[in-house]
Structure 1
Amino acid sequence: MGAAIGATVAPDHILKELADLWVSLGKQGEAEGGAGVLRACSMTLVVLAEESEDFSGLGETMAALMPEHPARTILIRLRGGEERTLSERVYSQCWMPFGQRRQICCEQIEITASDAALADLASVVLPLAVPDLPVIVWCRSARLVDMPEFHAIAAMARKVVLDSAQMPDGHSALRRVADLARRGVLLGDFSWTRLTRWREMLAQVFENRRNLALLDHISKVRVSFGGAYEVLAWYLGAWVLNALADAGVHAELSVTGTTGGRYLRVKLEGEGLKVELARSDDRLAIAVNDLSNVTNLPQPTDYLLMREELGIVRNDPVFDRTLASAARLAYPTD
């Protein structure tokens, strides 16, 4: 780390600020007649976001996550530019459980970094991680994934969470995610997390014995998508093909897309059976032959998606297999 940067942001200085913060919070809690302050921490959460992002919305998301997944949060605001700068501040996120008189607080560190300083970021962040607890990196910046400095940041994490649907080119986005996985990065992708309800609803279709008896008739799986749902479409198609293969059924997959609005549809077809799931706005339509019904399926918020990802900090073999299959199907000549 360069001398100029070290003088601006030093991990030892930040840790001292955190210690002073806890002393201040404890005195404040006692002065207000409470029972003091309880520190809560189950991980170090590193959030990388562009400085242009709406930080009030992101702050609300982080505040909602903390009661269930308390963490020392290190928020990296990416400024861009060639000037070599880093700056920081520390603060707390506190809440009081219903019926109690003691606040629960988590530490938050905010660091602003220019692109020129990204190479120094890992050496600043790693000493700030809470010992013996997992480090989770949530990368909200699509451009950062393509930068060489990102690999050093990802290497310090047990898990990296990103959103391939936010990457500008959906077809190359899947390749980028697959390349990270091949480098040994343990990944979570919001595109996959958005499919949780889809997978549950499709599995429920075959809880019906009549439909299950026709499972081996399925010969074609067709997935169509619009807008930024290309990676979701390949994930969905790959997962369906893998599930069918596990049942001894081999089907052909086709994935087609348009540049129009966002939509996603999957069809499973075979002799005597036609199953279709299609999203329209906040509804999911499910049709099995001549029967159909509609269920509510609101667009999941970043809070709900990240909440699910933070619940799985270990390897997810279903996602790993789906990602590998999707990449193989999407790029057969690689």
Structure 2
Amino acid sequence: MIVDLPDTTISKLSKKLVTLREDGGAVALGRVLTLVIVSQYGEEEEAIEAANEASREHPMRVLVLSQIPADSAEAARIDAQIRVGGDAGASEVIILRAYGDAASNEESLVNGLLLPDAPVVAWWPIEAPADVVNTAIGHIAQRRITDASEHEDPHAALLDLSRSYAPGDTDFAWTRLTLWRAQLAAVLDQPPYEPVTGVTVAGAADSASTVLLAAWLQMQLQVPVVQELTPRGSGDTGIHGVRLTRASGDIVLERPHDTIAKLTQPNQPTHELSLPRRNLRDCLAEELRRLDPDPLYGEVITKGVRQLKVESGTGEGTTQ
């Protein structure tokens, strides 16, 4: 069910939610958190779809702040839309479009719609501010999710995240590494238990995930990491592979296709492993499983990235 409420107020919107629950039998008692999505006008649907799918694992209320272009000449007002039932997965979706002076205080827009005594997670699926914790929405959230790959220059975005990091921050460029990190850790947990003497990480020049993977490996293995980056505009995206050098030979994990990776080790047959590119739903669902700070991400973004001396450049958004 979709209900449009043009030129409304937060008070009227809250009352309408209560009416819909009473009339339709939908209840908010099972909701475990409030997810606030900060997006651009006209670009909300992909994020809403991902939230709807993730809500089947994490029932929640979804508040979408659809940012209107600053040069809009519309009179001050709030237009809202409520989605429940089949149009909202296992969540309630509330879309807010504030015009003029009504958009000047984002915190006041959402405060009256937050679930009581429930955690607040903020997500910027678009290019996020350089210091999200000190934004109106970031200030009220326990967790703040950004995506460096959405920036024109993902490497510069990582450096901004490194400077402004606060406990509770995370980035989808890091979340996309979960499967890579698990596979590499599993390989190194097998004999022979030799030290790694060299690491090479290959990926696209504008892949934030490639940088974070290199930073993580350098911190964990305490060896310099070489990055082999393909030129921008070549059509390649994301991480291509990792080479770990040991005395007995090289371990190579490479992904020539979007879903299958090849693992090559000395004196062993080549193995094919499932290593799919992660979509928004997978990344969001994983981040919602833990609402406490991620100290490992904090170390990688604040120390590891700086140690790599990442150079800024211009590129399009990328995948993991």
Q: In 1, distance between residues paired with 2:55 and 2:244?
A: 40
Structure 1 match to 2:52: 63
Please tell me whether the aligned partners of residues 134 and 158 of structure 1 are also in contact (alpha carbons under 8 angstroms): yes
**Structure 2 unmatched ranges of 5 or more:** 1-5, 312-320
Q: Is the 8 A contact 1:225 1:233 kept in 2?
A: yes
Instruction: Give the corresponding residue for 2:62.
Output: 73
Which shows bigger deviation, 302-311 or 312-321? 312-321
Q: CA deviation at 1:332?
A: 8.1
Question: Structure 1 pair 140/332, CA: closer, same or farther in 2 (3 Å)?
Answer: closer
Structure with more contact order per residue of length (Cα contacts < 8 Å, sep ≥ 6): 2
Aligned residues: 295
Residue aligning to 2:11: 12
Which residue pairs with 2:237 in the alignment?
Answer: 262
- Of 302, 314, 324, the match for 2:292: 314
1:154 to 121, 135, 138: 138
* CA–CA separation in structure 2 for the residues paired with 1:15 and 1:109: 10
More helix by percentage = 1
Deviation digits for residues 226-255 of structure 1, max 9, x if unmatched?
1531x21221122212222xxxxx311222
CA distance in 1, matches of 2:279, 2:246: 35
For residue 202 of structure 2, what is the aligned residue in structure 1? 224
The equivalent residue for 1:194 is: 176
Instruction: Measure the CA separation in 2 of the matches of 1:313 and 1:129.
Output: 16
Task: Please tell me whether the aligned partners of residues 132 and 144 of structure 2 are also in contact (alpha carbons under 8 angstroms).
Answer: no
Distance 1:286 1:121, change over 3 A: same
Alignment partner of 1:47 is 2:32: no
Q: CA deviation at 1:269?
A: 1.5
Do residues 235 (structure 1) and 212 (structure 2) align? yes
Q: TM-score, normalised by structure 1?
A: 0.79
Q: How does 1:246-261 map to 2 (within 5 A)?
A: 250-258=222-230, 259=232, 260=234, 261=236
Aligned residue for 1:178?
162
Shift in Å at residue 105 of structure 1? 5.9
1:164 aligns with 2:148: yes
Does structure 2 conserve the Cα–Cα contact (< 8 Å) formed by 1:263 and 1:279? no
User: Could you tell me how far apart the structure 2 residues matched to 1:312 and 1:149 are?
Assistant: 18
1:123 aligns with 2:111: no
CA distance, structure 1, for counterparts of residue 152 and residue 101 of structure 2:
23
**Do 1:263 and 1:280's aligned partners in 2 also have CA atoms closer than 8 Å?**
no
Partners of 1:276 and 1:94 lie apart in 2 by 47
The structure having more radius of gyration, on CA atoms, is 1
The unaligned stretches of length 5 or more in structure 1 are 1-6, 27-36, 96-103, 245-249
Identity level (%): 22
Q: Secondary structure at the match of 2:23?
A: helix
Q: 1:117 to 1:270 in 2, by over 3 A?
A: farther
> 1:34-92 deviations in whole A, cap 9, x for unaligned?
xxx4433111111122223262x444323222222111110122221323645232424
Query: What's the TM-score, normalizing by structure 2?
Result: 0.82
SS in 2 for 1:45: strand
In 1, distance between residues paired with 2:101 and 2:58? 32
C-alpha distance in 2 between matches for 1:332 and 1:51: 32
* CA distance in structure 1 between the partners assigned to 2:303 and 2:131 by the alignment: 25
Structure 1 residues 119 and 281, CA gap change in structure 2 (3 angstroms): farther
Match of 2:301 among 320, 323, 330: 323
- 1:68-122 Cα distance to aligned partner (Å, 9 max, x none): 2111110122221323645232424326xxxxxxxx9643211014597653111
1:88 to 79, 100, 103: 79
